[in-house]
Amino acid sequence: MMRKKIPIVLASILKPVNDSRMLFKLGFSLRETNKYHLNIIGFSSKKIPISENINFKVIFSKNRTHPTRILVPFKFFFQLLKIKPRIVIVSTYELLPMAVLGKAILSYKLVYDVQENYLLNLQHNQTLFGFRKFLAKMLVFFFEKLSHPFIDHFLFAEKCFVQEMPAIKNHTVIQNKAHLPDKFLPSFRIEKVQSPHFLLTGTIARVYGVSAAIDWFIELRRMVPGASLYVIGHCPLPSYASELQSKVKTQPGIHLQLSPDPLPHPHILREIQKADILLLPYKLLPSIRDKIPTKLYEGIAHQKPILITKNKIWEDMIQKYPAGIVIDFGDTKRIKASWEKFSSMYFYKIPPGIEVSWQAEKKSFQQLIEALL
CB-based contact 62:68 (threshold 8 Å): yes
Q: Who has greater pLDDT, 43 or 292?
A: 292
% of the chain with per-residue pLDDT over 90 = 77
What does the pLDDT read at residue 3? 65
Lowest mean pLDDT among 19-23, 36-40, 309-313: 19-23
CATH architecture group of domain 6-177+357-372: 3-Layer(aba) Sandwich (3.40)
pLDDT at 132 over 80: no
pLDDT single digits (tens) 186-241? 999 999 999 999 999 999 998 899 999 999 999 999 999 999 999 999 998 899 99
pLDDT at 138 over 90: no
pLDDT at 142 over 80: yes
What does the pLDDT read at residue 1? 41
Q: What band does 44 get if pLDDT is binned at 50, 70 and 90?
A: confident
Nearest to 105 by CA among 130, 80, 129, 75: 80
The mean of the pLDDT values for the chain is: 92
Lowest mean pLDDT among 64-73, 209-218, 239-248: 64-73
Nearest to 284 by CA among 199, 211, 201, 209: 209
pLDDT at 354 over 90: yes
Domain range summary for the chain, segments of one domain joined by +:
6-177+357-372, 197-356
Kindly report the pTM of this predicted structure: 0.92
Q: What band does 46 get if pLDDT is binned at 50, 70 and 90?
A: low
**Considering only the top CATH level, what class is 197-356?**
alpha beta
pLDDT at 68 over 80: no
Rg over alpha carbons for the chain, rounded to the nearest Å, is 21
Q: Who has greater pLDDT, 64 or 157?
A: 157
CB-based contact 118:112 (threshold 8 Å): no
Topology match between the domains 6-177+357-372 and 197-356: yes
